[in-house]
Structure 1
Amino acid sequence: MTTTDPRNSPSPTTGPKDRPPLVSRPLLLRFVSVFGASASFYLLLSVVPLYAKHSGAGGNGAGATTGALMLATVAGEIVAPRFIERFGHRVTLGAGLLLMGVPSLVLTMFSGVAWITVVCLLRGAGFALTVVAGGALTASFIPSERRGEGLALVGIVSGVPSLLGLPLGVWLVSEVGYAPVGVAAGVCALAPILSIPGLPEKEYIAGRRIGIMDGIRDRAIARPAVLFAVTALAAGIVVTFLPLAVPSASTGLVAVALFVQPAGAAVARLVAGRLGDRKGSSRLVFPGLAVSAAGMFITAYTSSAVAVVVGVAVFGIGFGIAQNSTITLMYSRVPASGYGTVSALWNIAYDAGMGIGAVCFGVLAQQVGYPWGFVCTAALIVLALPSAWRDRPGARGQKVEEAAV
């Protein structure tokens, strides 16, 4: 059963002048590791599948590398809360950055698919530790009255590296090769370790511990996570297979498409955060999924450069809305003692969705082709819309969990 901490619920009588400041010194320091981890992750996200293909792997091999990355990430996110209990948030965050950075430096030491998979597994485990430990710290630094806006701001900080990293990685490979890109990704992860000693260690909150299984069994927490996982599945497909789905197009087109997708997501997260604080984040989950599905349908016209760019832009907008609304909604439905579990579950949904999408789409596309594969992905999102509709305020059996600010 979900227990909402009254301290986490914004007061409906709180006016704009009474709202606490959003940005603090701990949050600014946290932005350093948010930016670095995200830059390292996204710089190689589309590059590694290309490197695997360059090493002799086909479409299945390219998809398997992203799948390995996400599989290790999900496994790491499951055990991360226990790791945090033993070593603390700062040590866990530092260990995660180390595991992301060192393997990136040696990515091109060998070219076999097995070696690339090992690098992906280590990076995935490291990314898991950074997002779970860092996510719990970040949530504790944000005033509950401005949670949606604060998480959107964090999303912008992490979104800028994805905005630049995805297309920049693909472009840099064509200009300087794979090794320098791997080194750059390693430095991006290792440099922020210097900021960790300045972060305050999150104090343990009194109250019953909410474990991973507790969160999975609670529909109020699990449903937004599952809905977000469906859109994350599509995101994994876009970043992994878009460079392969438009082989006749120039590298410039792929770079533009991989730029506008996170750009749309970043802007949408900020807007969704402000709207969610005032109207309730649960109202935005359904529109986020609907827009995501529309974007995937448009992207299916891979023979048209305009359709590809517009499609991934529309998908990015829907994905950004789904990102911010689901995570904010999940935090609002637990006491502060459950922040770590929410961070783990939401990131598991993110990474499991991306990994499953990358692996399964590779098999599907070989049977039906990339355009029909994108259509099938859009149809899957559409199938999740009824569940999103039932989770909105006023739906039968659904209580309004958020008060408008």
Structure 2
Amino acid sequence: MVDPPPAAQPNAPATTIVEPILTRPMARLLVVSLGALGSFYLLMPVVPAYAAGNGAGGMGVGLSTGVLMLGTVLTELAAPALIARHGYRTVVALALLLLGTPAVLLVASSWPPVVLGVCLLRGAGLGIVFVAGAALVAELAPDTRRSEALGLYGATVGVPSIVCLPLGVWLSGHVGFAPVFVTGAALALLSLAAVRGMPARSARVEPMPPGTLRRYLDVGGLAGPMVVFAAVALVAGVLLTFLPLSLSATSPGSAAVALLVQSCTTPLARWVAGRYGDRYGGSLLLPAVIAVVLGTAGLAWVHSPLAVIAGVALFGAGFGVAQNVTLALMFARVARSGFARVSTLWNLAYDAGMGIGAVSFGLLVSPIGYSAGFALTAAVLLTVLVPAWRERHRFPARMA
């Protein structure tokens, strides 16, 4: 008797097809995100220093970041409806124009209303990029590799923070503010060339539902990860806005090094969390928050460059893990049609946390100083250890 061919054997193992992550539309999205976030991170620590150098006090410096995040939050609320009506290409092109064009105005004027107006417009562009980017990654990635795709996306878009955060600080100190502003504008505007290859529309996008935001959070089960991430992002707003200023008197050269360390550890940790997030899920969130608390506490020793660098390394690691884990958990709790809304809510937590952190710290720094301010920020973050602990048995993998 002749044995049947392998395909006909009943016990032959089925061939597993691994769907790719890095498709052509994903590559286009990454190019656009690199340009947009490069523009954002280049100016992120520079505009507060520009405002401080032109007479703004702690409140004015904090407002430069707070208004940036306000513009981001307001646009994120409208982004799902804009994407549903006009498509990804149109709204992302608008976002790049809003990020790039207003930055040139800073070359001509340092008047506080102009600076804040530029921050507001750039924040609006940033909000669209954040929502569209995360939603598109979730749509383009295979279901079984979504956490991995989010980790790859997070690591890739972390490159601008690695390069541009310390570069902006260094350039502004050596060649002046104007070249930094022009370069930031160019990075966003040149990225328009990659928009054409992105998906135009998606049938899966739906606008924010009627009713209150709290009602949607309760129904979707998204409140826990969102609250934890908002608290972690609060520290990011404080660090990116005030760390260079806190070191300017005692160790000005340490600011660029510290930002480089933080910007390297965050995307690396986000990528690692993506690799293991489908397996370990929410159990990674509590260690991430603990790392952020310890790292923030380390910044209280502003007179010790080693303590500051160790602190930003711990913060960066915890921040990167928290980014991936919270986003993957939130995507796992909705249908595909809700991906844009999840991206909106997660980015709202990110930007609202950063804005509140910067403005609040700006109010505190004059009466209590930088060291006490960082210590108090770490103490506030202890409050989210409980919701982080509650997520330990949650997993981002979607069940059929």
What TM-score do the two structures reach when normalised by structure 1?
0.91
Query: Which residue matches 1:316?
Result: 316
% of aligned pairs identical? 45
Q: Is the 8 A contact 2:162 2:260 kept in 1?
A: yes
Q: Is the 8 A contact 2:234 2:356 kept in 1?
A: yes
For residues 125-177 of structure 1, what are the alpha-carbon distances to aligned partners after superposition, in whole Å with 9 as ceiling and x for unaligned?
11111211232222211112111111111111111101111110010001111
Offset at residue 218 of structure 1 (A)? 3.2
SS at match of 1:218: helix
Offset at residue 77 of structure 1 (A)? 0.6
Provide the C-alpha distance between the structure 2 equivalents of 1:51 and 1:15, rounded to a whole number of angstroms: 61
Query: Which residue matches 2:146?
Result: 147
Query: Which residue matches 1:93?
Result: 92
Change (3 A) 1:358 1:208: closer
Query: Which residue matches 2:274?
Result: 273
Query: Which residue matches 2:397?
Result: 402
Say whether residues 1:181 and 2:180 are aligned partners: yes
Offset at residue 285 of structure 1 (A)? 1.4
Map residues 34-53 of structure 1 onto 2, 5 A cutoff. Answer: 34-53=33-52
Provide the C-alpha distance between the structure 1 equivalents of 2:390 and 2:153, rounded to a whole number of angstroms: 28
Which stretch has the larger CA shift, 250-259 or 354-363?
250-259
Query: Which residue matches 1:123?
Result: 122
Question: Between Structure 1 and Structure 2, whose CA radius of gyration is higher?
Answer: 2
Change (3 A) 1:344 1:33: same
Provide the C-alpha distance between the structure 1 equivalents of 2:174 and 2:205, rounded to a whole number of angstroms: 54
Map residues 245-284 of structure 1 onto 2, 5 A cutoff. Answer: 245-280=246-281, 282-284=282-284
Map residues 53-202 of structure 1 onto 2, 5 A cutoff. Answer: 53-202=52-201
Query: Which residue matches 1:4?
Result: none
**One-letter amino acid matched to 1:391:** E
SS at match of 2:221: helix
Query: Which residue matches 1:360?
Result: 360
Which stretch has the larger CA shift, 186-195 or 197-206?
197-206
Q: Is the 8 A contact 1:215 1:341 kept in 2?
A: no
**One-letter amino acid matched to 1:249:** T
What TM-score do the two structures reach when normalised by structure 2?
0.92
Unaligned runs of 5+ in 2: 1-12
Which stretch has the larger CA shift, 240-249 or 97-106?
240-249
Offset at residue 366 of structure 1 (A)? 1.6
Q: Is the 8 A contact 1:49 1:62 kept in 2?
A: yes
Change (3 A) 1:401 1:196: closer
Change (3 A) 1:381 1:80: same
Which stretch has the larger CA shift, 95-104 or 239-248?
239-248
Change (3 A) 1:209 1:167: closer
**One-letter amino acid matched to 1:58:** G
Provide the C-alpha distance between the structure 2 equivalents of 1:16 and 1:236, rounded to a whole number of angstroms: 48
Say whether residues 1:332 and 2:332 are aligned partners: yes
For residues 203-253 of structure 1, what are the alpha-carbon distances to aligned partners after superposition, in whole Å with 9 as ceiling and x for unaligned?
213999756835333362122111101000000000000011123234321
**One-letter amino acid matched to 1:377:** T
SS at match of 1:21: coil
Provide the C-alpha distance between the structure 2 equivalents of 1:203 and 1:295, rounded to a whole number of angstroms: 40
Q: Is the 8 A contact 1:210 1:338 kept in 2?
A: no
Provide the C-alpha distance between the structure 2 equivalents of 1:156 and 1:401, rounded to a whole number of angstroms: 19
Query: Which residue matches 2:382?
Result: 382
Query: Which residue matches 1:3?
Result: none
